[in-house]
């Protein structure tokens, strides 16, 4: 007897599945679910309904007496049939994609409740390395896809949100005298708004986005409202963080220098601890403090406190049959582990989106308003808090210094040392920085259906922000007559402020065709035109002294502020076509072609044509009979090329305002005393500049076995970037110091492998899934301009980051001991090794491999997951090593128990080229000289391998039975741990090797220059839907 | 579309500029290097100052341990700061027929190359400054650069004589306000200095020197550069003041006994012009032996010692009348039998006092018969020259510290002796007490800067700081 059956089809998380197919088995009768996942169908009792949806396992249900059947479809093991969003926002079955695309959906993305999108995909995408310059609140997360492919410019991917490019510019300073990081543009995207992220890695698929996609594309599709259903989602997260790694200190020797117990010293080169009570610090008002001369355990750790961060998100979505909308607000605040709010961050986002269908027209749009504010504790040398901290001898309790206002011993005038550092609490409280950004970005699109097989569309995107940065240093002036008067610890104070405006407009026009030639052949094609315009301007001003204390302003100084303003403009036009041919759901070929015209290149070289082609073959659709063994098999292969332009104004020479370097510390800045000067800029012209060209071949396979219990996704790629554009450092004797030039070829070869194992799979009982995510990438500078031996990529003057032909990209070079003709180490008159006048390469900075290991256990409503992040190989410079070795605090500074020591087999040079056997032992007085000798600078370069327990999540999802009587439709609670454990090799006794103070791009590979310490954290998150 | 894309001209910089502004920038580059980096370096090597024991910024210099990074900035500022600007000024001047400006730029270029080769020996010259046409200029030997510089000066002088056009740069010439007669005197003095630098080499040229002496048209006013503010102002003061005193806090450079004791023993009033007394009450002059940090352990601050007396707006001196007098005295002794040398010597001391703001009477008191600095004519050239060189050393302090080092390296006066055997009152230097060089060696040159060695495939690093410069042959 026929009756009407109705119900809801939902996904495993309970979300409705619109568009799912419902068929009556054995008939041609069928329907599909609406936007709300609801269906209704007429069928006979006893018949069987078949529910299917691409990307999910098909489920059957027999019609009984009930007229309501709700089904929950489980994801097809590892969602091999999933739909992915490809270039230009086109949705395609994943099977049709011939290049490696990884999609991360909302659930995976938000399970760890990360504040930024980049952190949320960390470890989830093979071949993508996410690096955080620090765990300071609001700091940047960099994303590198398939290694560094550009020596000069940017290696970050292009971010596309709902079809429009989003600025990912960073606001950081890597100044050695005070670095800070206020984050990247992509950090403004609220991860809770994201429906899915597709990571396009290879040039065969990214070509359509033009030059900016040369480093890959991160395609973000935001959540949309659903018809006839009002959802209210609320989530809140609370995370507490603590210091993860402090440098390991020696416990034997205390304050002093040259083996003597001097009370003014900022190092631990004093005598051995005797644990007797002794005076310390300066004599103030005829009194002096007492303390035992003994090791202070957890000295640095005690300075820091517990950081807190909170994220709250509310989203309301719903709609009628033809119009849907969504609104979400998000607030995220954090206060880092430095005491006080000096390291804090707040982000508020408001997002509105709508979609509407009116006859043959479809409209959509979204508008995002983001404001971020923060303050950072500057890192680096000089009077930075971290530098002050690390120059405190191992026997002094740092927390003693806390009261610098009332306790005269702790004032800057009487602080125990006059040697270029001061009370860290003073710096923490009195110096500071502030950042404010207001950003609006959004998109509007309209599509008109011309007929059943073609449509025309237009999409407009805007991204605009204003930001303001302020950085100030307090006046540090010890009073006359006090112990520190006339010492090197002197700072006149300073103030810096910058305001920038950034605007980007993007227009796309499309013509889409979708032609089914016959039942088996299908052609889908998109023709398009793109216009992109970017503009930024900034004005900055700084003044190097302040008159009135506790007030910071450009006007608070007798000095004239130094002001500069910069404008950058660039445009590009592009025309493109993307066509996919498919045959019988088993063979697919996609071809992309694009021509760009860039404003940034010389006129003759500004037009660039490129493209790519990729294909895929789903073998299991060709030979369905093998499905018993191999559940799914797909082979894909692709080749693509992309052109890459450069920054504006790199072609022509310039004349600049006179500004003469004065010993690296200051300059003679014109106009000066009524005289002005202009000089020939130091960047040489390059009228022949050509675009970079990235060429990439990739081959990959997706396989699954034993009913999808084992699945493998494997890709091998071989990419080359020719005509590398680099701001090439020139020998000054050429009259110039740089030229933006095409200087060589970089190759990146690597593999990305993802192995998923469903070890236990029992929907109603215990489940255990393991995922291994492995990748390697070898970046080699294959060719370098004949005129050069190597190029410098940054670093310091003593130890630097360089690239050499035929060698891995980014090598660290530094001083080595001088040797005589017999290979003996040459030492100086004090027995300390002499540095060779020529530097040598220590090794490369690349990871040999990265491996993520995730395990997820679940039993009914309880789940437990943890992820280890393993990165092996590579070197980095560490100033934390350098400074703690300089001060004798480091555990590595007790060679020979600091007893006299003759470097084995050493010689002395008594006149040029004449050597004799060395008999001079390094004595107590000179051990400190040994640890800071250029000749042993190699010791400050450490192995950056690590194993981190990246994430631990324990979740409980309340069952429908419990929440059935409550207003909640869904409710879950999770405990989250991040970076709880860190293991590093023996050579690293200093720091979390993930930190960098040189940004998040290639230059960050150099290492860190007294970075702030990283954190581990623990928290709880609550998610509810009404 | 094409029009729309023509937006790649940098709106942040001017499209063109008058050469006079560029000349100022070139002079500023030379002055900042001479008055900053080289005043500091030369001050250690000529033993005017030493590293304060309570700080360590310049320990590398005082321990004779300067590494290959040491010279990066001065090298870059001289080549890519000064010389490329001067090349532009020369080109434009030539195009405009401005023989006066051409001469000025040529002289500054010769001055700069001379400093470079005196510091480093072989340096890029003939292949230098060609931008992308040659990004790895091969070095030329100093023996070839000196004659080439002299002939470039002669050539510019001839051009000017043939078609005298007063330089159009006016007051943008911070040194001589475009006064051509001053610049011609500068030319002759510079040439004399270069000829004498070659005195101990096979390139010594008595004929040329005698011709210059016969022409007798040398510096009559000090060649100084100053656009410096009297107020303490970052980036606007004398370069040594701005960095060593203001930025680094005046804690590193303290008086060396070598010079301070010389002044004291000879009751030379220049002591108060060259040094500030310490901050003790009452304040006195106090110095330490060069590099003697070991004797001052604990936290004795730089304020306990005399420190260089450079002020916010102290000019940078490129050449002085006093230096010119001493050069002439040396030339007369060497190549003209010494007649008139005493007068030039006295004038040298006198003009030194005047440059320091002291009086003629104070100078004369020392040079007059029976005075500590009385010139004693001698039949032995070296004996006569020693007097000139010691006075020249005592008169170049914070005027041109680097020149003092070049001259003592060339002539070996004042002598550098082992500590304990020195006699500061007659003018002696010691081997720095914190030297790390074995066997009593002292530095003679600088290593090539790493930046240049890394980028210029035709330049090979030298072995050590103790390799001699080509003119160091005595």
pLDDT digits (tens, 9 = 90+) for B309-368: 999 999 999 999 999 999 999 999 999 999 999 999 999 999 999 999 999 999 999 999
Architecture of domain B19-229+314-455: Alpha Horseshoe (1.25)
pLDDT of residue A78: 42
pLDDT of residue A228: 66
Best residue in B455, B462, B464, B468 for a mutation probing chain A (most A CBs within 10 Å): B455
Q: Note whether A14 contacts B: Cβ–Cβ < 8 A.
A: no
Q: Note whether A670 contacts B: Cβ–Cβ < 8 A.
A: yes
Res. A787: pLDDT tops 90: no
Best residue in A420, A735, A828, A937 for a mutation probing chain B (most B CBs within 10 Å): A735
Domain spans of chain B, in order of start? 19-229+314-455
Per-residue confidence band for A113, with pLDDT thresholds at 50, 70 and 90: confident
Most confident by average pLDDT, A40-44, A589-593, A761-765, A879-883? A879-883
Distance CA(A527)–CA(A535), nearest Å, equals 27
Contact between B447 and B75 under an 8 Å Cβ cutoff? The reply is no
Of A559, A655, A741, the CB nearest to B13: A655
Listed by number, the residues of chain A in 220-279 with a beta carbon closer than 8 Å to a beta carbon of chain B are 258, 260, 262, 264-265
CA dihedral A572, A573, A574, A575 (to 10 degrees): 180
pLDDT digits (tens, 9 = 90+) for A396-428: 999 999 999 999 999 999 999 988 899 999 999
Listed by number, the residues of chain A in 406-425 with a beta carbon closer than 8 Å to a beta carbon of chain B are 418-420
Distance CA(A744)–CA(A728), nearest Å, equals 11
Q: Which residues pair with A512 in a beta bridge?
A: A455, A526
Distance CA(B28)–CA(B31), nearest Å, equals 5
In the predicted model, what is the mean pLDDT of chain A?
89
Chain B residues within 8 A of A600 when measuring between CB atoms: 8
Res. A516: pLDDT tops 90: no
Question: Which stretch of DSSP H or E encloses residue A574?
Answer: strand A562-583
pLDDT of residue A30: 80
Instruction: Tell the CATH topology of A2-75.
Output: Immunoglobulin-like (2.60.40)
Chain A residues within 8 A of B37 when measuring between CB atoms: 662-663
Q: How many residues does chain A have?
A: 1026
Q: Note whether A661 contacts B: Cβ–Cβ < 8 A.
A: yes
Q: Note whether B339 contacts A: Cβ–Cβ < 8 A.
A: no
Residue A794: other Cβ atoms inside 10 A: 18
Of A544, A606, A680, the CB nearest to B84: A680
pLDDT of residue A141: 82
For A345, list phi and psi in degrees, rounded to 5: -155, 140
Kindly identify which residue of chain B lies nearest to residue A531, measuring between CA atoms: B1
pLDDT of residue A86: 64
Nearest to A67 by CA among A115, A148, A2, A154: A2
Percent of chain B residues topping a pLDDT of 70: 99
For A489, list phi and psi in degrees, rounded to 5: -85, 80
pLDDT of residue A361: 92
Per-residue confidence band for B267, with pLDDT thresholds at 50, 70 and 90: very high
In the predicted model, what is the mean pLDDT of chain B?
95
Q: Note whether A558 contacts B: Cβ–Cβ < 8 A.
A: yes
Task: Look at B76 and A910 and tell me if their CB atoms are within 8 Å.
Answer: no
pLDDT of residue A728: 87
Contact between A41 and A49 under an 8 Å Cβ cutoff? The reply is yes
Distance CA(B176)–CA(B170), nearest Å, equals 9
Query: Does residue B373 sit in helix, strand or coil?
Result: coil
Q: Note whether A675 contacts B: Cβ–Cβ < 8 A.
A: yes
Kindly identify which residue of chain B lies nearest to residue A532, measuring between CA atoms: B5
Query: Does residue B212 sit in helix, strand or coil?
Result: helix
Contact between A472 and A431 under an 8 Å Cβ cutoff? The reply is yes
Provide the shortest C-alpha distance from residue A789 to chain B (in Å): 6
Please compute the mean of the pLDDT values over residues B106-121 and round it to a whole number. Answer: 98
CA dihedral B430, B432, B438, B442 (to 10 degrees): -70
Q: Which residues pair with A942 in a beta bridge?
A: A876
pLDDT of residue B27: 98
Domain spans of chain A, in order of start? 2-75, 101-244+305-383+431-651+686-810+845-884+946-983+989-1025
pLDDT of residue A248: 96
Distance CA(A831)–CA(A819), nearest Å, equals 14
Contact between B107 and B153 under an 8 Å Cβ cutoff? The reply is yes
Task: Look at B233 and A677 and tell me if their CB atoms are within 8 Å.
Answer: no
pLDDT of residue A31: 82
Per-residue confidence band for A81, with pLDDT thresholds at 50, 70 and 90: very low
DSSP state of A479: P
pLDDT of residue B2: 73
Q: Which residues pair with B122 in a beta bridge?
A: none
Provide the shortest C-alpha distance from residue A724 to chain B (in Å): 17
Provide the shortest C-alpha distance from residue B412 to chain A (in Å): 18
For B52, list phi and psi in degrees, rounded to 5: -60, 140
Q: Note whether A759 contacts B: Cβ–Cβ < 8 A.
A: no
Chain B residues within 8 A of A934 when measuring between CB atoms: 67
pLDDT of residue A959: 83
Distance CA(A101)–CA(A217), nearest Å, equals 10
Distance CA(B388)–CA(B383), nearest Å, equals 9
Please compute the mean of the pLDDT values over residues A898-920 and round it to a whole number. Answer: 93
Res. A79: pLDDT tops 70: no
Contact between A596 and A572 under an 8 Å Cβ cutoff? The reply is yes
Contact between A527 and A510 under an 8 Å Cβ cutoff? The reply is yes
Per-residue confidence band for A75, with pLDDT thresholds at 50, 70 and 90: low
pLDDT digits (tens, 9 = 90+) for A721-756: 999 888 888 999 999 999 999 989 999 999 999 899
Q: How much is the ipTM here?
A: 0.95
Please compute the mean of the pLDDT values over residues A431-459 and round it to a whole number. Answer: 93
Chain B residues within 8 A of A691 when measuring between CB atoms: none
Contact between A529 and A574 under an 8 Å Cβ cutoff? The reply is yes
Percent of chain A residues topping a pLDDT of 70: 97
Q: Note whether A790 contacts B: Cβ–Cβ < 8 A.
A: yes
pLDDT of residue A77: 46
Query: Does residue A277 sit in helix, strand or coil?
Result: strand
pLDDT of residue A153: 61
Res. A791: pLDDT tops 50: yes
Please compute the mean of the pLDDT values over residues B149-165 and round it to a whole number. Answer: 97
Percent of chain A residues topping a pLDDT of 90: 59
Res. B417: pLDDT tops 60: yes
Percent of chain B residues topping a pLDDT of 90: 92
Which CATH number applies to A101-244+305-383+431-651+686-810+845-884+946-983+989-1025: 2.40.33.20, 2.40.170.20, 3.50.50.60, 1.10.630.10? 2.40.170.20
Res. B437: pLDDT tops 90: yes
Q: Note whether B462 contacts A: Cβ–Cβ < 8 A.
A: yes
Provide the shortest C-alpha distance from residue A896 to chain B (in Å): 22
Provide the shortest C-alpha distance from residue A950 to chain B (in Å): 40
Contact between A164 and A185 under an 8 Å Cβ cutoff? The reply is no
Query: Does residue A392 sit in helix, strand or coil?
Result: coil
Least confident range from A461-470, B51-60, B147-156: namely B51-60
Res. A573: pLDDT tops 60: yes
Chain B residues within 8 A of A677 when measuring between CB atoms: 21-22, 24-25, 28, 172
Per-residue 3-state assignment (H helix, E strand, C coil) for A80-147: CCCEEECHHHCEEEHHHCCCCEEEEEHHHHHCCCCCCHHHHCCCCCCCEEEEECCCCCCCCEEEEECC
């Amino acid at each position: 007897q026929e009756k009407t059956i109705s119900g809801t089809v939902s996904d495993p998380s309970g979300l409705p599945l619109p568009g799912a197919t419902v068929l009556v088995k054995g008939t041609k009768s069928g329907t599909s679910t609406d936007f709300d996942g609801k269906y209704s169908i007429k069928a006979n009792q006893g018949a069987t309904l078949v529910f299917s949806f691409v990307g999910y396992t098909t489920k059957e249900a027999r019609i009984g007496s009930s007229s309501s059947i709700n089904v929950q479809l489980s994801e097809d093991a590892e969602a091999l049939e999933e739909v992915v969003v490809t270039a230009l926002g086109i949705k395609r079955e994943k099977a049709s994609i011939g290049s490696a695309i990884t999609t991360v959906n909302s659930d995976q993305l938000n399970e760890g409740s990360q504040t930024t999108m980049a952190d949320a995909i960390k470890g989830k995408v093979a071949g993508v390395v996410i690096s955080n310059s620090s765990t300071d609140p609001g700091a940047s997360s960099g994303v590198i896809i398939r290694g560094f492919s550009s020596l000069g410019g940017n290696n970050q991917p292009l971010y596309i949100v709902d079809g429009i490019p989003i600025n990912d510019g960073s606001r950081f300073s890597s100044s050695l005298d005070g670095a800070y990081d206020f984050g990247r543009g992509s950090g403004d995207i609220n991860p809770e708004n994201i429906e899915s992220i597709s990571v396009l890695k290879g040039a065969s698929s990214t070509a359509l986005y033009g030059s900016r996609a040369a480093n890959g594309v991160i395609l973000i599709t935001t959540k949309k409202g659903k018809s006839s259903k009002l959802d209210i989602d609320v989530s809140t997260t609370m995370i507490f963080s603590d210091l993860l790694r402090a440098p390991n200190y020696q416990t034997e020797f205390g304050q002093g220098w040259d083996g003597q117990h001097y009370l003014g010293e900022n190092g631990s080169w004093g005598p051995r601890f005797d644990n007797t009570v002794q005076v310390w610090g300066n004599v103030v008002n005829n009194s002096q403090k007492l303390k035992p001369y003994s090791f202070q355990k957890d000295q640095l750790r005690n300075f820091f406190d517990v950081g807190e961060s909170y994220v709250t998100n509310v989203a309301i979505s719903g709609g009628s049959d033809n119009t849907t909308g969504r609104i979400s607000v998000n607030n995220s605040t954090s206060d880092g582990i430095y005491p006080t709010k000096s390291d804090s961050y707040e982000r508020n986002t408001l997002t509105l989106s709508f979609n509407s269908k009116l006859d043959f027209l479809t409209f959509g749009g979204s508008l995002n308003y983001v404001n971020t504010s923060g303050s950072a504790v500057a890192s680096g040398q000089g009077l930075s808090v971290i530098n002050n901290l690390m120059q405190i001898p191992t026997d002094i309790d740092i927390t003693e210094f806390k009261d610098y206002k009332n306790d005269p011993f702790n004032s800057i005038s009487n602080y125990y040392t006059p040697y270029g550092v001061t009370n860290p609490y003073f710096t923490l409280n009195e110096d500071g920085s502030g950042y404010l950004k207001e950003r609006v970005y959004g998109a509007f699109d309209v599509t008109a259906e011309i007929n059943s097989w073609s449509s025309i569309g237009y999409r407009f995107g805007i991204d605009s922000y204003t930001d303001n940065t302020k950085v100030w240093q307090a006046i540090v002036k010890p009073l006359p007559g006090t112990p520190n008067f006339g010492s090197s610890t002197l700072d006149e104070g300073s103030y810096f402020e910058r305001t920038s405006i950034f605007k980007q407009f993007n227009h796309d026009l499309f013509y889409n065709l979708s032609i089914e030639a016959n039942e088996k052949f299908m052609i889908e094609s998109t023709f398009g035109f793109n216009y992109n315009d970017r503009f930024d301007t900034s004005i900055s001003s700084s003044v190097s002294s302040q008159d009135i204390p506790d007030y910071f302003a450009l006007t608070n100084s007798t000095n004239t502020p130094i002001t500069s303003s910069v404008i950058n403009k660039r445009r590009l036009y592009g025309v493109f076509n993307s066509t996919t041919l498919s045959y019988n759901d088993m063979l697919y070929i996609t071809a992309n072609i694009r021509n760009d015209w860039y404003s940034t290149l010389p006129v003759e070289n500004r037009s660039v044509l490129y493209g790519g082609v990729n294909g895929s073959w789903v073998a299991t659709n060709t030979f369905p009979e093998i499905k018993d063994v191999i559940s799914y098999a797909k082979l894909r292969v692709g080749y693509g090329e992309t052109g890459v332009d450069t920054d504006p104004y790199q072609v022509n020479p310039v004349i600049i305002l006179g500004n003469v370097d004065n010993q690296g510390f200051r300059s003679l800045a014109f106009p000066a005393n009524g005289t002005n000067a202009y000089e020939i800029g130091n960047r040489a012209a390059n009228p022949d500049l050509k675009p970079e060209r990235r060429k990439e071949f990739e081959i990959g396979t997706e396989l699954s076995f034993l009913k999808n219990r084992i699945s493998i996704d494997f890709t091998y790629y071989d990419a080359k970037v020719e005509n590398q554009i680099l701001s090439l450092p020139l020998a000054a004797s050429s009259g110039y110091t740089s030229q933006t030039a095409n200087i060589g070829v970089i190759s990146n070869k690597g593999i990305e492998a993802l192995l998923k194992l469903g070890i236990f799979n029992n929907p109603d009982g215990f489940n255990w899934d393991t995922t291994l995510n492995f990748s390697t990438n070898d970046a080699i500078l294959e060719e370098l301009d004949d005129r050069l031996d190597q190029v410098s990529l940054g670093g310091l003057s003593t130890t630097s980051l360089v690239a050499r032909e035929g060698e891995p990209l980014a090598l660290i070079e530094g001083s080595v001991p001088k040797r005589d003709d017999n290979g003996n180490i040459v030492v100086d008159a004090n027995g300390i090794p002499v540095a060779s006048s020529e530097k040598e390469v220590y090794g490369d900075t690349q990871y040999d491999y990265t491996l993520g290991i995730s395990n997820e256990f679940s039993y009914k409503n309880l789940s437990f997951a943890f992820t280890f992040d393993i990165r092996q190989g590579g070197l980095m410079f560490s100033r934390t090593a350098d400074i703690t070795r300089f001060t004798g605090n480091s555990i590595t500074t007790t060679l020979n128990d600091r007893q006299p020591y003759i470097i084995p087999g050493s010689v002395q040079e008594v006149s040029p080229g004449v050597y004799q056997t060395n008999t001079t032992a390094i004595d107590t007085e000179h051990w400190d000289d040994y640890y800071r000798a250029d000749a042993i600078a190699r010791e400050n370069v450490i192995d950056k391998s690590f194993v981190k327990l990246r994430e631990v999540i324990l979740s409980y999802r309340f069952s429908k039975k419990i929440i059935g009587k409550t207003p909640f439709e869904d409710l879950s609670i999770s405990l989250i741990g991040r970076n709880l454990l860190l293991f590093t090799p023996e050579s690293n006794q200093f720091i979390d090797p993930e930190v960098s103070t040189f940004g998040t791009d290639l230059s960050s590979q150099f290492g860190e220059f007294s970075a702030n310490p990283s954190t581990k954290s623990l928290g709880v998150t609550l998610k509810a839907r009404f | 579309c094409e029009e729309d894309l023509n937006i790649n001209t940098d709106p942040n910089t001017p499209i063109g500029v008058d050469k006079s502004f560029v000349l100022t920038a070139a002079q500023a580059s030379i002055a900042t290097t001479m008055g900053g980096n080289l005043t500091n370096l030369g001050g250690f090597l000529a033993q005017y100052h030493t590293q304060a024991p309570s700080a360590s910024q310049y320990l590398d210099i005082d321990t004779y341990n300067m590494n290959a990074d040491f010279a990066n900035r001065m090298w870059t500022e001289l080549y890519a700061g000064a010389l490329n600007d001067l090349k532009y000024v020369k080109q434009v001047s030539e195009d405009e027929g401005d023989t006066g400006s051409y001469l000025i730029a040529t002289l500054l270029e010769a001055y700069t190359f001379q400093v470079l080769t005196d510091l480093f020996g072989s340096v890029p010259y003939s292949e230098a400054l060609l931008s992308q046409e040659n990004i790895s200029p091969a070095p030329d030997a100093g023996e070839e650069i000196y004659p080439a510089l002299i002939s470039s000066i002669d050539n510019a002088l001839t051009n000017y004589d043939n078609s005298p056009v007063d330089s159009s740069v006016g007051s943008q010439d911070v040194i001589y306000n475009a006064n051509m007669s001053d610049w011609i005197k500068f030319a002759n003095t510079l040439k004399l200095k270069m000829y004498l630098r070659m005195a101990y080499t096979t390139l010594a040229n008595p004929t040329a020197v005698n011709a210059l002496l016969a022409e007798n048209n040398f510096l009559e006013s000090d060649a100084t550069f100053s656009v410096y503010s009297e107020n303490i102002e970052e980036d606007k003061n004398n370069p040594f003041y701005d960095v060593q005193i203001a930025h680094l806090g005046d804690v590193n450079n303290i008086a060396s006994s070598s010079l301070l004791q010389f002044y004291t023993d000879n009751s030379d009033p220049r002591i108060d012009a060259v040094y500030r007394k310490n901050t003790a009450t009452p304040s006195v002059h106090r110095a330490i032996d060069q590099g003697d940090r070991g004797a001052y352990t604990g936290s004795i601050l730089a304020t306990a010692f005399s420190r260089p007396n450079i002020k916010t707006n102290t000019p940078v001196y490129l050449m002085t009348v006093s230096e010119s007098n001493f050069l002439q005295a040396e030339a007369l002794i060497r190549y003209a039998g010494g007649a008139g040398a005493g007068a030039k010597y006295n004038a040298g001391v006198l003009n030194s006092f005047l440059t320091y703001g002291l009086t003629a009477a104070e100078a004369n008191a020392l040079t007059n018969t029976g005075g500590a600095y009385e010139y004693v004519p001698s039949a032995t050239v070296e004996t006569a020259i020693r007097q000139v060189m010691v006075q020249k050393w005592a008169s170049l302090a914070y005027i041109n510290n680097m020149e003092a080092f070049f001259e003592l390296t060339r002539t070996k006066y004042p002598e550098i002796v082992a500590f304990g055997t020195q006699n500061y009152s007659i003018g002696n230097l010691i081997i720095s007490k914190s030297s790390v060089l074995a066997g009593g060696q002292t530095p003679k040159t600088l290593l090539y800067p790493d930046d240049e060695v890394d980028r210029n495939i035709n330049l090979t690093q030298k072995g050590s700081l103790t390799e001699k410069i080509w003119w160091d042959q005595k």
